Amino acid sequence: MNNLKPHIISEGKLQYQLGELDGNQIIYDFDKMLIYLNAKGKLLFGSKFKIYEEDRAVLFKLCNYFIKDETNCKKLGVDIHKGILLTGPVGCGKTSLMKLLRYMVPHQKPFKIIPSRNISFGFNHIGYKTINDYGDNHYYCFDDLGVEPMGRHYGKDCNVMGEILLSRYDLYSEHKVKTHATTNLNAKELGERYGCRVRSRMRQMFNLISFDSNSLDKRS
């Protein structure tokens, strides 16, 4: 990204203009953002990647969130100060989009995408240090939340991601540290998995953005 032209992103020899610069403000063009995301997606995930028209409404919310368009976000019921909980059926493209959207705003604080199952497995090896490790000021996206196995360390079971979410809620409440997540589960299933207390905290720290339950499986 050219710091003098933050609305233009370079990929190799190609440049993608995402909007127009108006003083210190970028006036983004959604269709131009989709062109860039489609091109970057092919670079990251292969030539078969494409942006689907049926996902346009979800992408409109996500794009406005990531560019911090407060006016549009307010209309869409999205709080730019909260994180994103992106839900939808298996294979609808949740993880790919969260990986992809980071590249559209390289001037913003990045977030790491961590599979929830890897965190649970880490707990099995090193115990509660795993939970403490995620109680920092970094931004994370916990991928496939809710289907990770229960943690077990020295014979003691622990709902690892539930504990981490509580820690992340404290960080959000006190310091506005964002957490994102993707999940195949609905609100009821998340409540059953983590309990009412965690589910209540999740409502306060996340914007819920959902793919249609009949969304295509894009892995084939």
pLDDT digits (tens, 9 = 90+) for 147-180: 999 999 998 999 999 999 999 999 999 999 999 9
Radius of gyration of the chain (CA): 18
pLDDT digits (tens, 9 = 90+) for 8-30: 999 999 999 999 988 888 899 99
44 contacts: CB under 8 Å, gap ≥ 6: 96, 99, 100
Model confidence, pTM: 0.93
Over pLDDT 70: what percentage of the chain? 98
How far apart are alpha carbons 91 and 219 in whole angstroms? 6
CA atoms within 13 A on the CB side of 211: 25
DSSP 8-state class, residue 80: T
Tens place of pLDDT for every residue, the chain, 220 residues?
455 677 899 999 999 999 998 888 889 999 999 999 999 999 999 999 999 999 999 999 999 999 999 999 999 999 999 999 999 999 999 999 999 999 999 888 999 999 999 999 999 999 999 999 998 999 999 999 999 999 999 989 999 999 999 999 999 999 999 999 999 999 899 999 999 999 999 999 999 999 998 888 888 6
- Residue type at 216? L
Residue 95, class by beta-carbon neighbours within 10 Å (0-12 exposed, 13-18 middle, 19+ buried)?
middle
What's the mean pLDDT when you consider all of the chain? Answer: 94
206 to 9, 54, 111: CA distances (angstroms):
28, 23, 15
DSSP 8-state class, residue 128: T
| Distance, C-alpha 144 to centroid of its chain | 11
| Distance, C-alpha 39 to centroid of its chain | 20
